[in-house]
Amino acid sequence: MDEQKVLSIKGLLDDTPEEYLSHKEKYENSIRKSVLFYKTLHSTEDENMSVDEKTKLNFRNIVTSAIFKDNSPFMLHNSMFIPTIMGQGTDEQREYWMKRAKNMEIIGTYAQTELGHGTFIRGLETQATYDPDTEEFVLHSPVLSSYKWWPGGLAHTANYCIVMARLYIKGKSHGIHPFMVQIRDEETHMPLPGIKLGEIGAKLGFNTVNNGFLGFENHRISRDRMLMKNAQVLKDGTFVAGSNSKLTYGTMVYVRVLIVSNMANMLAKAVTIALRYSAIRRQSQPKPDEPEPQILDYVTQQHKLFIAIASSHAFYMNAMWLWEIYYSVSLQLASGKLDNLPELHALACCLKPLSTIDATAMIEKCRLACGGHGYMLSANLAQTYGLATAAYTYEGENTVLLLQAARSLVKAWVGHVKGRPLKGTMAYLAGDSTVKAWDGSIDGIIQSFKVVAIRKISSVVKILQDYEKSGLSPEDAWNKASVFLTAASEAHGRAVLLSVYKSEMDKRAAVLSPPLRKVLLQLVDLYVTYWALEKVGDMLLYASITDKDVDELQRRYIELLAAIRPNAVGLVDAFDFRDEILNSTLGAYDGRAYERLMEEAMKSPLNAEPVNQTFHKYLKPFMRGKL
């Protein structure tokens, strides 16, 4: 399905800007468009799709999110409800539920987070108590904090959801498991008996995603509604544990992988808007006898924006690489081979945080680079920021995920010191961590980032060990050292991002035309040089860079900005976003930003009349002292 067909759907695009709709109208409008969109698309992901097809699906997801300037109330149906059926259902359950879900006969969401718990899954309080007499589970929300809170589409859209609940059998807890629960009548859409539903209210963004709350009052579901691929409850109430309790966390790993490519797309959108605007905007007169220059010719503007282009490329390359790993680990899991799951989890726990941290910061920088017009909602930079910054929190809050990655890094390092071999993306930790002399080449700088990671990991392990020697419990030692544990994870994530971007580009370089290869490798060079300068403190401490080397790096960085400048507009045009997708007065291909700003301004309801009724009602009596 290409953009053209999607965008030609009659009525999909708005005549009234969403900004001027009420909270309720925004939701109703997004449902109208989601239905139009899905009627046309009518396809969702399945496990047999190729990596390329999956990325195209993610592209479609972006198309939808772009069209809505926010996200769709169907978002969770595609990105978590269906993947959970695929990953947690038995063959029979998949057979039955995938048909209904893929045909959009039902709309689902993923209800895990509760009012009282989001990060700590093992603390979730929603109960699923097995009743062997009726072969049913009784779902119950014992206290307010156990209400499901946040799931997208839960409030008024979904009629089914995956509920992550604590399984009790004969009074014994067996941990958190997924349950397929119908929450609304398929004919009337009324909440079923024993089910309380509602919307959680207005948010910074995601205001068309219909995030909701869900409470159960002893609501019964049949035994076959527990998704039993990884663990089972037999009719008599016998619990059969899965091979690894973390397999129930599988959907979250999948979405974390998806988020890395989502950040590539979001950042590409924002920098397309900001860079195109910077090409048409002229301001100031540094040379008295010359016209005002394009603001894109200010090096400070290039510094703000070109890294965003390179970062979008870097995230995309890393996302495709990570997706391949996810895909092969998923196949291994299907055959019961679990030993690569910890590495996948650790990688996702590094790349999801770093891509969301960088993308959020760089999208905001794109807005800031556009002056006042960047502050307009019609520029679509604020909304893009709102979507991106949510990913810092959802699918595993970034700090928590970086600490998860630190668990794996500490374990790998301690094992290495004891002589255990390191493997995969952590193999470099066994490398030489002493840098004799600074090597300013791209590969040399990437190697320095690996040395920084080795040194940060080894030093935080030493801190942990010293705390434990001093008598602290492992948990207290961990908490005390946690700032530097997250720093060690970030250093590892940086090393992975840089080396994968470089190696993936090297693989592709051979098939690129020389001019294209030159430009794309300039972006790799810019990315590596930018981060070496951003992390110059680490380089000075661990990678024996000298002040002379830093001076050289700075000059190289400035030269790279100048080299990229002639191709900058072409590089964002190459992202190939149509105007309707950018949905931005500043980013349109024709560069008519001023005309579009005025056109959008005139759509404000306030401009429908020259004098607003409040003049006669309030202002005039006020100004006449008669109020």
Ligand X SMILES: CC/C=C\C/C=C\C/C=C\C/C=C\C/C=C\C/C=C\C=C\C(=O)SCCNC(=O)CCNC(=O)[C@H](O)C(C)(C)COP(=O)(O)OP(=O)(O)OC[C@H]1O[C@@H](n2cnc3c(N)ncnc32)[C@H](O)[C@@H]1OP(=O)(O)O
Ligand Y SMILES: Cc1cc2nc3c(=O)[nH]c(=O)nc-3n(C[C@H](O)[C@H](O)[C@H](O)COP(=O)(O)OP(=O)(O)OC[C@H]3O[C@@H](n4cnc5c(N)ncnc54)[C@H](O)[C@@H]3O)c2cc1C
**Residues with catalytic annotation?**
395
Are the CB atoms for 499 and 446 separated by under 8 Å? yes
Residue (195 or 410) nearer to ligand X, CB: 410
Asked if residue 206 binds ligand Y (CB under 6 A), the reply is yes
Rounded distance between C-alpha atoms, residue 246 and residue 269, angstroms: 35
399 binds, among ligand Y, ligand X, none (CB under 5 to 8 A by kind): ligand Y
Asked if residue 157 binds ligand X (CB under 6 A), the reply is no
Q: State the chain's maximal CA–CA distance in angstroms.
A: 91
Which residues, 208 to 247, sit near ligand Y by CB under 6 A?
211
Report the residue from 73, 89, 108, 118 that binds ligand Y according to the rule CB under 6 A: 118
**Cβ 262 to ligand X, closest distance in Å?**
4
Asked if residue 151 binds ligand Y (CB under 6 A), the reply is yes
CA 457, 458, 459 angle in degrees (round to 5)? 95
Binding residues for ligand X, total number by CB under 6 A: 38
Q: Which DSSP symbol is given to 208?
A: T
Report the residue from 341, 350, 477, 588 that binds ligand X according to the rule CB under 6 A: 341
Residue (211 or 583) nearer to ligand Y, CB: 211
Closest CA to 75 of 108, 105, 114: 108
Are the CB atoms for 139 and 163 separated by under 8 Å? yes
Read off the tokens for 316: 């995309």
Specify the 3-state DSSP secondary structure of 194: coil
Specify the 3-state DSSP secondary structure of 546: coil
Residue (51 or 483) nearer to ligand Y, CB: 483
Residue (32 or 555) nearer to ligand X, CB: 32
Residue (148 or 313) nearer to ligand X, CB: 148
Are the CB atoms for 467 and 477 separated by under 8 Å? yes
Are the CB atoms for 308 and 331 separated by under 8 Å? no
Asked if residue 121 binds ligand X (CB under 6 A), the reply is yes
Region label for 284, one of left (φ > 0), alpha (ψ between -120 and 50) or beta (otherwise)? left
| Window of 388-396, 510-518, 536-544, 566-574 that interacts with ligand Y by CB under 6 A | 388-396
Specify the 3-state DSSP secondary structure of 239: strand
Q: Is 591 annotated as a binding residue?
A: no
Single-letter code of the amino acid located at 18: E
Which residues, 385 to 414, sit near ligand X by CB under 6 A?
394-396, 400, 404, 407
**Cβ 401 to ligand Y, closest distance in Å?**
9
| Window of 105-113, 268-276, 512-520, 538-546 that interacts with ligand Y by CB under 6 A | 105-113
Closest CA to 315 of 279, 362, 272: 362
Buried b / exposed e along 240-265 (16+ C-beta atoms within 10 A): eebeeebbbbbbbbbbbbbbbbbbbb
Report the residue from 47, 343, 397, 600 that binds ligand Y according to the rule CB under 6 A: 397
Asked if residue 571 binds ligand X (CB under 6 A), the reply is no
- What sections of 249-368 are H helices per DSSP? 250-280, 299-334, 341-368
Q: Is 614 annotated as a binding residue?
A: no
| Window of 319-327, 350-358, 394-402, 488-496 that interacts with ligand Y by CB under 6 A | 394-402
CA atoms within 13 A on the CB side of 544: 9
Residues that bind ligand X (CB under 6 A): 34, 58, 61, 64-65, 71-72, 74-76, 78-80, 110, 112-113, 119-122, 152, 246, 249, 252-253, 255, 258-259, 262, 341-342, 345, 394-396, 400, 404, 407
Residues that bind ligand Y (CB under 6 A): 76, 109-113, 117-119, 150-152, 206, 211, 390, 393-394, 397, 399-400, 403
Annotated binding-site positions for FAD: 113, 152
